[in-house]
Structure 1
Amino acid sequence: MSTEIHPSNDTRAQGTDLGRGSWTPAATPRRGPARARLRRLHRWLGVSAGALLIVTGLSGSLLVFRQEIDAALNPHLLRTEPAATRVPLQQILNGVRQQYADPAPTRVRMPRSRDATYEVWLGAAPERYVYADPYRGTLLGARRPTEFLTGWLFLLHSHLLAGAVGGQVAGVGALALVLLSVTGLVIWWPRRAPWRAWMQWRASLTVARGVGGRRLTFDVHRAVGFYASALLFVGGLTGASLAFPKAGERVASWVTLSPTARAPLAPASRAIAPMLPVDSLLLIAERAQPGGEISYLYLPSAPGQPFRVRKRLPRERHPNGKSFVSVDPITGQVLGVEDGTTAPRGARLYSLLYPLHIGEIGGAPTRLLASLTGLTLPLLAVTGLIQWWRRRRPDRVRTSGD
């Protein structure tokens, strides 16, 4: 992404053709200082963030199909034979605690289909996932986040395998992608009136055939950069909001002129007493918020913390839902109910960013489009870096093939 995607100034062949294997861009016409500064910014951002965008683009393209890839590679953990009834979830959690004493379970990913299994998270990070058969109660195995392909890819994509610092760097890279998309489109845009710039537009939207490497690299970067600019802008913006969630929520609330603060929950009991069975707490939460699909259970890890049920209600676009029921784990009192469909406008806008980022917003077609968009990042990064490198060479005008 470090170079020009501007249209030619006259016809298809901007630059000097020195034969099939050699082409060099023509000298850039005199432009205003603002446009020149944008060009330098675009080039600097592309060179600086090129390697990062290659990594996030390739990993993100695969992660669009994360669930399908994981299920195909690890069916012994993620798939089971359905039966008539399920064993109590509390029984499964007791078995997990017996076999894996430390760290304690913190979350349970609920089955999304009849043949799916429970995924129990150990530790806050989490440190390990444990899988259990809902119908027989047997533990199927465990794995750490870096021990399977899609888990490793997710940590690479979201945190660059470097923890919290890596997550911030990835977020900065997403912001750089937003700027690259905007500056690239401005540089590309013809300066003439549309009725006088038809040849420029046509040259900018296609790739010449039968040309040398220099010309091909230039045309591919320019055309692909234009076609992907809107999707890359959305991908960068949503990625940055996920990397910096508090800032993303504040911006969404500011844009929609809605409050940011959620209704406070009633405090949970801090008494030293046994927690009610998870299955009983689930029934209480279901009565408090009927309908929808339960996606996650959040288990209290310290006195005073609630037991939380996360649900996806009808009309919610987030794949995991943004509706919650909080229950006192000792007394069974309902502490709060959050309905994602009636949340403030800012919260609803922010909840759309994750499904937009992974392509879930429109089903299979948009997932495929999101995956293909991710693949444009390494293509644009490589072609941009090649052009930047060639600009630095003293012998830019060559008479031999590339």
Structure 2
Amino acid sequence: MKTFKNITGWLHLWLGLAAGIILIIVALTGSLLTFEDELEPLIFHKTQVVKVSGTRIPVDSLVQIANSVFPDKKLSRLIIPQEAERSVEARIGAKGEKGIKVVYIDPYTGKVLGKGPYDKQFFQQVRSLHRYLLMGKQGKIVTGISCAICLFLVISGLIIWWPANKAAMKQRFKIKWNASGKRLTWDLHAVSGFYMSIVLLFITFTGFVWSYDWVEDMLFKVIDGKVEKAEKVKNKEKTKVVNDGVYQLMYNEINTIYPYNGSVAFAMPAKPALATTVQKEPEESRIRQVDAAFFDSHTGGLIKKLPYSEVSTGTKVRRMILPIHTGSLLGWPTKLLYLLVSLFTASLPITGMLIWLGKRKKTKKKTKKSPRVAVA
């Protein structure tokens, strides 16, 4: 048992030192992303917040404005927030395509409040740093490995923390604030780690979904028995002429089908023959309770409803992954808890290194004090 614990401690030390900087970056960026919804309108007030004045312009006008800003690309997504004072977000360029643009529009005046590359927006940069270290696919590999290391560090940390006897049990549950620097550092690292470990496990396990595609596929296979595929619904009408007011018609219809206050998002079809997907989500939804409907992209006629209650269990679980990962699942209480855990996680590599340096210094002192054996 002692040998196992020693090996575990050795791996915990060196893997922690190897992945330390990456864990700090991921933890700090994660704490920012937890409060993205609250921070974005405060930091970027000019592009995110508008003055409520009179009647909102038709959705079709918003589409035309968005398409006119970057005429070489087509609108792929239009997001109309629930809040009356928020701007409309338009994303220009197909999903997965390089050079996607974003435009923020005042829904009352039609004024363009801001525009530019989507991936250069502040929180997109933070998200890219969090998931890919700003290095694309190569960065995803590194953060994926770091995620696996983090899982091992949490489990191995619990093994190292586990007291050898009952006498040592009491000191493992509380931090001795009046202790020496070395003891306090150890307590901050080990005792706090014990209390934070459950939340860290949730964050780490859910992080695997973005790190490895096979984890997401396995999730659907275990729950639904098959991998989820994006549904492609075709238009009913064969006409290629787009009717006037088609998007406003869809907007009115989605609010009639799902009569509650919520944000509405239009996903424009990649091909003319495909239907337009319109989603609606209530503001108070913390598990991404998204209701959807498919409309003929030329006439605006309703083709199919897809309420949240009818989506697969795997899809419902998958939509819960993000709220669990970011801490938004139960609102402010879990968000504040996750902020605390994220900041603590960022401190772990630092306190871990201090513990290691302290032990190394102690070992050197012992070596110097060792008596020399006289040679006859």
Please state which band the TM-score falls in when normalised by the shorter chain: 0.7 to 0.9
CA distance in 1, matches of 2:182, 2:365: 10
Could you give the per-residue CA deviations for residues 178-231 of structure 1, whole angstroms, max 9, x where no partner exists? 222122112212344xxxx1x422212233344443333222111121111111
Q: Which amino acid aligns with 1:366?
A: T
Whether the 8 Å contact between 2:220 and 2:228 is mirrored in structure 1 is no
Whether the 8 Å contact between 1:315 and 1:341 is mirrored in structure 2 is no
CA distance in 1, matches of 2:307, 2:40: 31
CA distance in 2, matches of 1:180, 1:102: 49
Q: Which residue of 2 aligns with 1:21?
A: none
Deviates more, 1:163-172 or 1:80-89: 163-172
Whether the 8 Å contact between 1:66 and 1:150 is mirrored in structure 2 is yes
* TM superposition shift of 1:353: 1.4
Whether the 8 Å contact between 2:161 and 2:194 is mirrored in structure 1 is yes
CA distance in 1, matches of 2:113, 2:238: 35
* TM superposition shift of 1:347: 2.2
CA distance in 1, matches of 2:87, 2:359: 55
Q: Which residue of 2 aligns with 1:8?
A: none
Q: Are positions 1:133 and 2:133 aligned together?
A: no
Aligned residue among 160, 178, 187 for 2:160: 187
Q: Which residue of 1 aligns with 2:150?
A: 177
Q: What SS does structure 1 have at the residue aligned with 2:308?
A: coil
CA distance in 1, matches of 2:347, 2:121: 27
Instruction: Provide the aligned C-alpha RMSD in A.
Output: 3.0
Q: Which residue of 2 aligns with 1:102?
A: 72
Distance 1:167 1:263, change over 3 A: closer
Aligned residue among 83, 105, 128 for 1:113: 83
Distance 1:109 1:45, change over 3 A: farther
Q: Which residue of 2 aligns with 1:223?
A: 191
Q: Which residue of 1 aligns with 2:348?
A: 380
Q: Which amino acid aligns with 1:160?
A: L
Q: Which amino acid aligns with 1:378?
A: A
Deviates more, 1:305-314 or 1:266-275: 266-275
Mind listing any 5+ residue stretches in structure 1 that lack a counterpart? 1-30
Q: Are positions 1:322 and 2:290 aligned together?
A: yes
Q: What SS does structure 2 have at the residue aligned with 1:109?
A: strand
CA distance in 2, matches of 1:94, 1:331: 17
Distance 1:252 1:386, change over 3 A: farther
Whether the 8 Å contact between 1:253 and 1:347 is mirrored in structure 2 is no
Identity of aligned residues (%): 24
* TM superposition shift of 1:258: 5.5
Distance 1:70 1:291, change over 3 A: closer
CA distance in 2, matches of 1:396, 1:356: 47
Q: Are positions 1:122 and 2:78 aligned together?
A: no
Q: Which residue of 1 aligns with 2:39?
A: 69
Could you give the per-residue CA deviations for residues 250-290 of structure 1, whole angstroms, max 9, x where no partner exists? 32551x46654469544347957133432123334445555
Q: What SS does structure 1 have at the residue aligned with 2:127?
A: helix
* TM superposition shift of 1:106: 1.1
Distance 1:380 1:57, change over 3 A: same
Could you give the per-residue CA deviations for residues 294-341 of structure 1, whole angstroms, max 9, x where no partner exists? 34211123333331112225985335x433222231244544433323
Q: Which residue of 1 aligns with 2:275?
A: 306
CA distance in 2, matches of 1:244, 1:263: 19
Q: Which residue of 1 aligns with 2:26?
A: 56
Q: Are positions 1:358 and 2:326 aligned together?
A: yes
CA distance in 2, matches of 1:200, 1:145: 54
CA distance in 1, matches of 2:277, 2:101: 20
Equivalent residues, number:
363
Whether the 8 Å contact between 1:308 and 1:326 is mirrored in structure 2 is yes
* TM superposition shift of 1:365: 1.2
Q: What SS does structure 2 have at the residue aligned with 1:310?
A: strand
Aligned residue among 123, 129, 134 for 1:150: 123
Mind listing any 5+ residue stretches in structure 2 that lack a counterpart? 369-376
CA distance in 1, matches of 2:22, 2:365: 28
Whether the 8 Å contact between 2:128 and 2:134 is mirrored in structure 1 is yes
Larger RCO: 1 or 2 (CA < 8 Å, sep 6+): 1
Q: Are positions 1:274 and 2:274 aligned together?
A: no
Deviates more, 1:390-399 or 1:101-110: 390-399
CA distance in 2, matches of 1:235, 1:178: 9
Whether the 8 Å contact between 2:100 and 2:119 is mirrored in structure 1 is no
